[in-house]
Chain A
Amino acid sequence: MSTRFTKWLAGAVLGATAMVGATFGARAEETIKIGVLHSLSGTMAISETTLKDVMLMLIDEQNKKGGVLGKKLEAVVVDPASNWPLFAEKARQLISQDKVSAVFGCWTSVSRKSVLPVFEELNNILFYPVQYEGEESSRNIFYTGAAPNQQAIPAVDYLMAEEGVKRWVLAGTDYVYPRTTNKILEAYLKAKGVAADDIMINYTPFGHSDWQTIVADIKKFGSAGKKTAVVSTINGDANVPFYKELANQGIKATDIPVVAFSVGEEELAGLDTSNLVGHLAAWNYFMSVDVPENAEFIKKWQAYTNNPKRVTNDPMEAHVIGFNMWVKAVEKAGTTDPDKVIDALIGVSVPNLSGGYSTMMPNHHITKPVLIGEIKADGQFDIVSQTPGLIMGDEWSDYLEGSKDLISDWRAPLKCGNFNVATGKCGGSGK
Chain B
Amino acid sequence: MIMKRLFGSDAMALWFLACLLVVTVLVGVLNLATPADSALHVPTYLVALLGKYLCYAILALSIDLVWGYVGILSLGHGAFFALGGYAMGMYLMRQIGPRGVYGDPVLPDFMVFLNWKELPWYWLGFDNFLFAMVMVALVPGILAFVFGYLAFRSRVTGVYLSIITQAMTYALLLAFFRNDMGFGGNNGLTDFKDLLGFNLQTDGMRVALFAASALALALCYLLCLWITRSRFGKVLIAVRDAESRTRFMGYRVEGYKLAAFTLSAVMAGVAGALYVPQVGIINPGEFAPQNSIEAVVWVAVGGRGTLVGAAVGAIVVNFGKTVFTGVLPELWLFALGGLFVFVTLLMPKGIVGTVPQLLDMMRSRKAQNAGETAKPEAPRPAAE
Contacts and interface: CB of A to CB of B under 8 A. Distances in A.
B336 to A, nearest CB: 10
Interface stretch (A75-83, A272-280, A294-302, A385-393): A75-83
Interface in A79-108: 79-81, 83-86, 88-90, 92-93, 96-97, 108
Contacts of A401: 115
Interface in A25-61: 40-41
Q: B192, B279, B323 — which one has the most chain A CB atoms within 10 A of its CB?
A: B279
Interface string A103-145: 0000011100110111001000000000000011000000000
B378 interface: yes
A308 B300 CA distance: 46
Interface stretch (B40-48, B64-72, B135-143): B40-48
Interface string A14-26: 1011001101100
A14 B52 CA distance: 18
B325 A78 contact: yes
Interface in B35-56: 42-46, 48-50, 52
Given A96-B44, A420-B103, A117 B329 contact: no
Nearest to A418: B101
B326 A93 contact: yes
A78 B186 contact: no
Nearest to B286: A85
A356 interface: no
A96 B43 contact: yes
A417 interface: yes
A418 B330 CA distance: 39
Interface residues of A, number: 69
Contact of B177 (A88, A90, A96, A175): A175
B104 A79 contact: no
Contact of A89 (B100, B322, B333): B322
Given A8-B355, A10-B19, A92-B48, A97 B101 contact: no
B110 A176 contact: yes
Nearest to B15: A6
A contact face: mostly helix, strand, loop, or mixed: helix
Interface in B1-53: 10-12, 14-16, 18-19, 22-23, 26-27, 42-46, 48-50, 52
A309 interface: no
Contacts of A21: 42, 46
Contacts of B363: 2, 4
A10 B102 CA distance: 50
Contact of A97 (B43, B99, B109, B319): B43
B280 A174 contact: no
Nearest to B319: A16
Nearest to B308: A9
B113 A135 contact: yes
Interface string B80-112: 000000000000000000111111110001101
A383 B46 CA distance: 50
B317 to A, nearest CB: 12
Q: A40, A110, A205 — which one has the most chain B CB atoms within 10 A of its CB?
A: A110
A64 B179 CA distance: 47
B204 interface: no
B194 interface: no
A208 to B, nearest CB: 11
Interface residues of B, number: 73
B330 A40 contact: yes
Given A16-B319, A174-B179, A427 B185 contact: no
Nearest to B99: A427
B103 A117 contact: no
B170 to A, nearest CB: 11
B206 to A, nearest CB: 11
B328 to A, nearest CB: 8
Interface in A128-181: 135-136, 174-176, 179-180
B188 interface: yes
Given A175-B179, A417-B101, A428-B100, A41 B333 contact: yes
B243 interface: no
B62 interface: no
Contacts of A85: 52, 279-281, 285-286
Given A117-B191, A174-B178, A402-B112, A10 B15 contact: yes
20 contacts: A1-B11, A1-B12, A2-B363, A4-B356, A9-B312, A10-B19, A13-B19, A17-B27, A20-B46, A21-B46, A41-B333, A81-B325, A84-B283, A84-B285, A85-B281, A96-B45, A114-B280, A117-B201, A180-B113, A402-B102
In the A-B complex, the 4 residue pairs with the smallest Cβ-Cβ separation, listed nearest first, are: A428-B103, A79-B329, A175-B186, A5-B356
Interface of B: 10-12, 14-16, 18-19, 22-23, 26-27, 42-46, 48-50, 52, 98-105, 109-110, 112-115, 174, 177-179, 185-188, 190-192, 201, 279-281, 283, 285-286, 308, 312, 315-316, 319, 322-323, 325-326, 329-330, 332-333, 352, 355-356, 359-360, 363, 378
Interface of A: 1-10, 13-14, 16-17, 20-21, 23-24, 40-41, 77-81, 83-86, 88-90, 92-93, 96-97, 108-110, 113-114, 116-118, 121, 135-136, 174-176, 179-180, 183, 203, 205-206, 400-403, 406, 417-418, 420, 427-431
Given A1-B378, A9-B308, A114-B283, 19 more contacts: A1-B10, A4-B363, A5-B356, A8-B355, A9-B15, A24-B43, A79-B326, A85-B279, A89-B279, A90-B326, A110-B186, A113-B187, A114-B280, A135-B113, A175-B177, A176-B186, A183-B113, A206-B177, A427-B103
